[in-house]
């Protein structure tokens, strides 16, 4: 049995149930106060990192043609991830469009350079 003024059980450390006497003299138990669990931090929604990487590489791919297809692929993967988590897919769609434009431009440049070399070589 615990002492009247005990706040915690000496053997297990749990908060002790206290009793309160009302004006009529009846004894009612008061449930122990237990500390609430700390609040969990829920991460804010946002763009998956793949979407941002694909978008950035697609933009750089306009100037460095090798990076355009990589940006296109990453943006397509990020589009799928954004749809799965319910995030906005606008950045991914923009990355897909810019990656496709980069691929078209780099193909045009490659064909132009190839034609210039073949016409100068006499082939």
The pTM score is 0.57
| φ, ψ dihedrals at 68, nearest 5° | -60, -50
Give the pLDDT confidence of 57-99 residue by residue, as tens digits: 999 998 888 899 999 999 999 999 998 888 888 999 999 999 9
In a domain, 38, yes or no: no
Number of domains in the chain: 1
pLDDT of residue 53: 94
In a domain, 63, yes or no: yes
Say whether pLDDT at 22 is over 80: no
Q: Which domain holds residue 111?
A: 49-120
- The pLDDT confidence band at residue 30, using thresholds 50, 70 and 90, is low
In a domain, 92, yes or no: yes
Please name which of 111, 107, 115 lies closest in space to residue 123, comparing C-alpha atoms: 115
């Amino acid at each position: 049995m615990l002492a009247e003024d005990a706040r915690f059980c000496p053997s297990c450390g749990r908060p002790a149930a206290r009793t309160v006497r009302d004006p009529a003299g009846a004894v009612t138990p008061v449930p122990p106060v237990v500390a609430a669990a700390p609040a969990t931090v829920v991460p804010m929604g946002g763009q998956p990192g793949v979407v941002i990487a694909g978008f950035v590489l697609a933009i750089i791919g306009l100037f460095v043609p090798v990076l355009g297809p990589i940006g296109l692929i990453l943006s397509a993967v990020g589009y799928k991830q954004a749809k799965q988590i319910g995030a906005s897919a606008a950045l991914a769609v923009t990355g897909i469009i810019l990656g496709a434009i980069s691929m078209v431009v780099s193909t045009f440049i490659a064909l132009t350079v190839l034609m210039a070399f073949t016409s100068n070589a006499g082939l």
